[in-house]
């Protein structure tokens, strides 16, 4: 921490972080606890210890297939949304009408996804016929776009516009300028946006529920579909695996790419 922070505030900050952690992770701790419980229901406190829900989750072909589909979907959605949204944000940051336009770009978040899902399904079926992976890809990209645009714009708003000008004056071409000056400037925003895009797509259930095609089940839809007739802790085990996977993924990314670079921004 900066030296400028008084000691009493430091203690307060720690207390605050711990409380926030409890609030954020408490419900997740319940899920983890339930996932190893011998109880047949999602009930707490857990009774005994068993790994059979994990066995069941990993042994169920549907869960595994749904996981891979969700992962594939989230990856392509993240890439497309970050590219398209990042470009749009750079363009928006230059315009004078940025405020009005970015509100337009926020509109997919304002409409409940069920309305978008049904509208999309009607339009897609009358135009293309049966839905497919591409339908999900398109719909998820549309709803993740606003996140990328917002986070990138927020960062660009504080960027130094003269930097780009300076680079241009010094003879850098448009593309080089974009690559070497503008892009590094919006990197933290792009990364945060990409992160959201990935998470939103991975956790999205409503669009996927209505737009999926036979054989294309995403993980959230698969979990939702199991609840009515087998509310056992398998879903908790699946979620715990997701938590572990997220942590592992971040660790690996950190090792390979050095997320510190992002953190340093």
Stretch 166-205 residues interacting with other proteins (CB under 8 A): 174, 178, 188-189, 192, 195-196, 199, 202-203, 205
163 lies in the site for other proteins, by CB under 8 A: no
The alpha carbon of residue 81 and the mean position of all alpha carbons in its chain are separated, in whole angstroms, by: 11
48 lies in the site for other proteins, by CB under 8 A: no
CB of 26 or CB of 49, closer to other proteins: 26
Q: Which of 183, 227, 252, 257 binds other proteins (CB under 8 A)?
A: 227
Q: Which of 49, 96, 255, 260 binds other proteins (CB under 8 A)?
A: 260
257 lies in the site for other proteins, by CB under 8 A: no
Q: Which of 48, 49, 107, 169 binds other proteins (CB under 8 A)?
A: 107
Q: Which of 36, 73, 181, 238 binds other proteins (CB under 8 A)?
A: 238
252 lies in the site for other proteins, by CB under 8 A: no
104 lies in the site for other proteins, by CB under 8 A: yes
Contact 143, 116 (CB under 8 A): yes
CA distances from residue 8 to 11, 15, 18 in whole angstroms, order as listed: 5, 11, 16
Restricted to residues 120-139, the positions that interact with other proteins (CB under 8 A) are 120-134, 137-139
250 lies in the site for other proteins, by CB under 8 A: yes
Closest Cα to residue 211, out of 116, 145, 74, 117? Answer: 117
Query: What is residue 180's DSSP assignment?
Result: I
75 lies in the site for other proteins, by CB under 8 A: no
Closest Cα to residue 90, out of 185, 11, 15? Answer: 185
Sign of CA dihedral 140, 141, 144, 146: negative
Distance CA 103, CA 153 (A): 12
Closest Cα to residue 105, out of 73, 152, 164? Answer: 152
Contact 204, 143 (CB under 8 A): yes
Q: How far is the CB of 141 from other proteins (least distance, A)?
A: 7
């Amino acid at each position: 921490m900066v030296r400028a922070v008084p000691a009493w505030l430091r203690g307060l900050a720690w207390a605050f972080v711990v409380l926030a952690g409890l609030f954020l992770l408490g419900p997740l701790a319940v899920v983890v606890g339930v996932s190893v419980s011998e109880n047949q229901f999602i009930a707490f406190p857990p009774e005994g210890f068993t790994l059979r829900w994990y066995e069941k989750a990993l042994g169920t072909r549907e869960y595994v297939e749904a996981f891979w589909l969700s992962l594939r979907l989230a990856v392509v959605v993240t890439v497309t949304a970050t590219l398209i949204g990042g470009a749009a944000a750079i363009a928006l940051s230059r315009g004078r009408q940025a405020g009005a336009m970015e509100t337009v770009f926020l509109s997919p978040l304002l409409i409940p996804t069920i309305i978008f899902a049904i509208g999309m399904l009607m339009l897609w079926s009358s135009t293309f016929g049966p839905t497919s992976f591409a339908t999900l890809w398109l719909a998820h990209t549309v709803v993740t776009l606003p996140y990328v645009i917002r986070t990138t714009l927020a960062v660009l708003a504080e960027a130094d516009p003269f930097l780009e000008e300076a680079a241009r004056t010094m003879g850098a071409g448009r593309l080089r300028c974009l690559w070497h000056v503008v892009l590094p400037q919006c990197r933290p925003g792009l990364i945060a946006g990409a992160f959201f895009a990935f998470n939103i797509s991975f956790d999205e259930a409503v669009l996927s529920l209505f737009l999926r095609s036979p054989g294309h089940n995403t993980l959230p839809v698969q979990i939702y579909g199991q609840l009515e007739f087998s509310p056992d802790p398998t879903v908790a085990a699946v979620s715990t695996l997701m938590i572990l996977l997220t942590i592992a993924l971040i660790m690996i990314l950190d090792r390979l790419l050095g997320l510190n670079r992002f953190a340093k921004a």
